Structure 1
Amino acid sequence: MHAPHTNWQLAEVNIARLKAPAGDPLVAPFIDALERVNTIAERIDGFIWRYTDDSGNATDTQVATDPLVIFNASTWRDAQALETFVWGTIHKQFYHRRAEWFEALGSMHFAMWWVPPGTYVTPADAMARLAHLDAHGPSDTAFGWADVPGATRWHAKRCAPLTAAE
C-alpha cells in the first residue's frame, strides 16, 4: 500500500504472547535484549518514534485481557526504513528465535498503516487496526508486509531457510 501523501509516515504495531511472565528465565533472553534492540531501532535512519510506558519499553501496557500479551508500536519514515531495522539488524535474530519465547496467536499480530507526520500511535488505535486487518484483510486501514511494494528483505528473509549464523 502506498502512502496517501508523499510525506506520510509508516506506523506499525506488533503484539506477542509470552510463554511465561517477564521475570521467568524462559523469556529472559528476549526481555533482557529489549533495551538494546530498541536502541538500535532508534538509531536507524528513518526511525521516527516508538511507544513507551513506565517500563521504558511498552511491556507494562496491557492491550489484552491476557497479561502475557506484550505490545510494540512505532512510526517510520517509510517501509524501507522499517524493513532495514527488522531484517538488517540483530532484530532478525530475535525474529527467528520467536518460537522460544512466544506462543502463536490465533489472530493477526502485526499491522502497518500510513499516518500524517507527528502522529503518535495509541494502543487503542493500534489494536483496532490489528482487529480490522484480522476481520477484513489488507486495506488502507491496515496491511502487512505482503502488501508493501518493494518489501524485498521481508520476502527474502521470511522465505529463506535459516543459516547457522542466524
Structure 2
Amino acid sequence: MPQLALYTFGVLKSPLVDPAPLTREFYDMGEAVYRNIGRHPGYIARAEAAGGDRGLLFEADWGAWGEFAVPAWYDKGRTVETTALAATLSLWTDPGSASDAVYTGPHRKALSRRNDWFERTEHPNHVLWWVPDGVTPTWRDGVSRLEHLNAHGPAPHAFTFRH
C-alpha cells in the first residue's frame, strides 16, 4: 500500500543558533510538537539526523533520507552559524492523518506563531506525494516536488492538503 510523504520548508527570521528568546521558543515548542506527532495515528516515520545537533542540517548524516537539500529560492546560510531554515520530511498512512496532525493539537498552536518565526514568502511551505510501500523519500525528492508545486501548481506528482 502506498504511503504519503510530506515535506515542509520555511525560512526563519534568524539563524537556528540565535540565542534570542523567539528562537528558544521555536525550539521548545518544536520538541513538544515532534513528540506529539510521533504518537499520532497514521504517522510512520520522519527524517532525523544521526547527531541531532541544532543547525547541523547540511553536514548531518540523514541515513536513508539522503543528503539534506533545500529549494533553489533559499538564499541564507548553510553553516551551523548561519542556517536559517526549518524543514521536515515525514511519512504517513494517508492525507487525513497527516492533516489532522498538522492542523490540530500542539502543531496547530505552533502554526499560530509562524509569523513570529518565519519570513513571509510567496513560495509554498509544504508538499505531499505518494511513495510506494517500503520506499524512503529523500530530501532531494521533497525539494524537487516543492519546486514543481511552486512552478506548476498542484498535480498528482506534487500536491497540498487543500489541492
Coarse TM-score class (shorter-chain normalised): 0.7 to 0.9
SS at match of 2:121: coil
SS at match of 1:145: coil
Q: Structure 1 residue 59: deviation in Å? A: 5.0
Q: After the TM superposition, which of the residue ranges 21-30 and 11-20 deviates more from structure 2?
A: 21-30
SS at match of 2:162: helix
Structure 1 stretches of at least 4 aligned residues deviating more than 6 Å after TM superposition: none
Q: Would you say the 8 A contact 1:15–1:70 is kept in 2? A: yes
For normalisation by structure 2, the TM-score amounts to 0.79
What is residue 50 of structure 1 aligned with on the other side?
46
RMSD over aligned Cα, in angstroms? 1.8
Does 1:116 pair with 2:132? yes
What is residue 14 of structure 2 aligned with on the other side?
20
- The one of 25, 28, 37 equivalent to 1:29 is 25
Separation in structure 1 between the aligned mates of residue 30 and residue 149 of structure 2, nearest angstrom: 26
Matched-pair identity in %: 31
Q: Would you say the 8 A contact 1:48–1:74 is kept in 2? A: yes
Q: Would you say the 8 A contact 1:21–1:68 is kept in 2? A: yes
Q: Structure 1 residue 106: deviation in Å? A: 3.4
Separation in structure 2 between the aligned mates of residue 121 and residue 43 of structure 1, nearest angstrom: 21
Separation in structure 1 between the aligned mates of residue 87 and residue 54 of structure 2, nearest angstrom: 6
- The one of 83, 95, 109 equivalent to 1:93 is 109
For normalisation by structure 1, the TM-score amounts to 0.77
Separation in structure 1 between the aligned mates of residue 84 and residue 38 of structure 2, nearest angstrom: 25
TM-aligned CA distance change 1:58 to 1:82, over 3 Å: farther
The one-letter amino acid paired with 2:14 is A
Question: For this pair of structures, how many residues does the alignment match?
Answer: 141
Separation in structure 1 between the aligned mates of residue 48 and residue 117 of structure 2, nearest angstrom: 21
Separation in structure 1 between the aligned mates of residue 52 and residue 87 of structure 2, nearest angstrom: 13
The one-letter amino acid paired with 2:2 is W
TM-aligned CA distance change 1:21 to 1:54, over 3 Å: farther
Separation in structure 1 between the aligned mates of residue 121 and residue 158 of structure 2, nearest angstrom: 18
What is residue 85 of structure 2 aligned with on the other side?
69
- The one of 139, 147, 158 equivalent to 2:155 is 139
Q: Which deviations, in whole Å up to 9, do the C-alpha atoms of 1:121-142 show, x marking residues without a partner?
A: 2111100000001111111110
What is residue 163 of structure 1 aligned with on the other side?
none
Which of the pair has the greater relative contact order for Cα pairs under 8 Å at 6+ separation? 2
